Chain A
């Protein structure tokens, strides 16, 4: 099949040509287009979520805008599903991720992450009428609901003897699973769980663990070292200028 060979050769040449074009530095690209494109899973209040008018808002969004301002560009947010967010970064669908992403060993193997900009813990939430869970050790033999691939998911996976871990693509489904009585507890970052409790009167936080071990960072592709440096510098400036405290106050209502 000669024609087949020609066809595949064509595809190969085509792909080589295309992949060689996209080799300029991401930081240069950002400056050239005057925009930094930020991927976020806007289903995670108060870090990033859609408000009633459909606008994407939250702590990460304000911080992302502040970082863009430091870089002298505009921030554009792309709403994306959490379970595809890392592949989408690799596929250059956006320049960076700001989506309440904890810095972990595992993530640092394939991605670059900025200096931490927010510290939180893991929290366990249950139904108000449930008194059987008081700490992570009580999750043994229980059904736990989490968002897939989060540090909450990892934390529960580390506990031996959990009866079942139900992994959902968004956090709200995990809470609903507990409210509907099909799971005993939700485990997720305290920043998010605390905010959710304001709207879920039938649930309560019973414990926190991994205190101060959840450090959110900006996620980048590993090769973008110049961009990483620029973002770390921007974060430093934002903290020093008091802008960080303003944003913190706006979303968490207490000074840091």
Chain B
């Protein structure tokens, strides 16, 4: 087997730039996804049935359609409604909307895993539903939400390779572009995989660390 280390070495600076774009896309998508997900997750356990139905519909729709199709819809489809987004914004929006549905389910699961008695006790102490949620339920739920949330972040980082299809020069697209010139598939894809691994491993360490911190502070 021949492995052209020099080709990989020469590609490293470009791949690094691509990896930074991947990080930026993912970080922004996570932020959008967290905002949506927290809202949707809370709406799912809300006493108001209208909000509950809307958020259920959102989650079912988003979870039931592929992210790639959602990216194409936002980038190529929305201009038909006059909303013409550039690739980066379209990519972040599509990924954030997608992640929001999964985060919503994670938040709902975390809240529902807290024993019913906690809410009842808080309410009987005279707290409002909001106060009970904020002071009693959410702090406990957060601890259970964290590990699946870490999984979601890692999944999202890897899924960000899909935005290469709308020509955002992130890590995957950068690798492709280098291969179109050099034909060094094996070397460059190995390099791309390595960069992804370093990033996902970093995320999983951060999540582990914050879990530990929370355990001590309990």
Q: Are B50 and A81 in contact (CB under 8 A)?
A: no
* Subset of 26 A-B contacts with CB under 8 Å: A11-B81, A14-B81, A15-B81, A15-B83, A17-B82, A18-B81, A19-B81, A19-B82, A22-B84, A43-B177, A45-B181, A50-B178, A50-B180, A50-B181, A54-B14, A80-B166, A81-B166, A84-B72, A87-B76, A91-B75, A91-B80, A93-B84, A171-B180, A175-B183, A176-B185, A179-B183
> Total interface residues on A, using CB and 8 Å?
38
Given A15-B83, A19-B81, 9 more pairs with CB closer than 8 A = A17-B82, A22-B82, A43-B176, A43-B180, A50-B180, A79-B169, A80-B167, A81-B167, A91-B80
Q: How far is B83's CA from A49's CA once the two chains are assembled, in angstroms? A: 30
> Total interface residues on B, using CB and 8 Å?
28
For B84, the chain A residues whose CB sits under 8 A away are 22, 91-93
For A175, the chain B residues whose CB sits under 8 A away are 183
For B139, the chain A residues whose CB sits under 8 A away are none
Q: How far is B21's CA from A66's CA once the two chains are assembled, in angstroms? A: 31
Tell me whether A199 is interfacial, beta carbon within 8 Å: yes
Tell me whether A21 is interfacial, beta carbon within 8 Å: yes
Q: Kindly supply a per-residue 1/0 record for chain B positions 76-106, scoring 1 wherever the CB is within 8 Å of any chain A CB and 0 otherwise.
A: 1001111110110000000000000000000
Within the complex, the shortest CB–CB distance from B9 to chain A, in Å, comes to 13
Name A49's closest neighbour in chain B (CB-CB). B181
Tell me whether B165 is interfacial, beta carbon within 8 Å: yes
Q: Are A50 and B183 in contact (CB under 8 A)?
A: no
Q: Which residues of B contact A (CB under 8 A)?
A: 10, 14, 17, 50, 72, 75-76, 79-84, 86-87, 164-167, 169, 176-181, 183, 185
Q: How far is B87's CA from A80's CA once the two chains are assembled, in angstroms? A: 10
For B17, the chain A residues whose CB sits under 8 A away are 54
For A22, the chain B residues whose CB sits under 8 A away are 82, 84
Name B10's closest neighbour in chain A (CB-CB). A52
For A256, the chain B residues whose CB sits under 8 A away are none
For A93, the chain B residues whose CB sits under 8 A away are 79, 84, 86-87
For B176, the chain A residues whose CB sits under 8 A away are 43, 170
Tell me whether A235 is interfacial, beta carbon within 8 Å: no
For B183, the chain A residues whose CB sits under 8 A away are 172, 175-176, 179, 199-200
For A83, the chain B residues whose CB sits under 8 A away are 165
Q: How far is B176's CA from A18's CA once the two chains are assembled, in angstroms? A: 36
Given contacts A43-B180, A81-B165, A176-B183, contact A15 B82 (CB under 8 A): yes
Tell me whether A3 is interfacial, beta carbon within 8 Å: yes
Q: Kindly supply a per-residue 1/0 record for chain A positions 64-102, scoring 1 wherever the CB is within 8 Å of any chain B CB and 0 otherwise.
A: 000000000000001111011001101111000000000
Within the complex, the shortest CB–CB distance from A90 to chain B, in Å, comes to 8
Q: Which 6 A-B pairs have the closest CB atoms?
A: A18-B82, A91-B79, A15-B81, A43-B180, A19-B82, A172-B180
Q: Are A84 and B165 in contact (CB under 8 A)?
A: yes
Q: How far is B82's CA from A155's CA once the two chains are assembled, in angstroms? A: 36
Q: How far is B166's CA from A18's CA once the two chains are assembled, in angstroms? A: 23
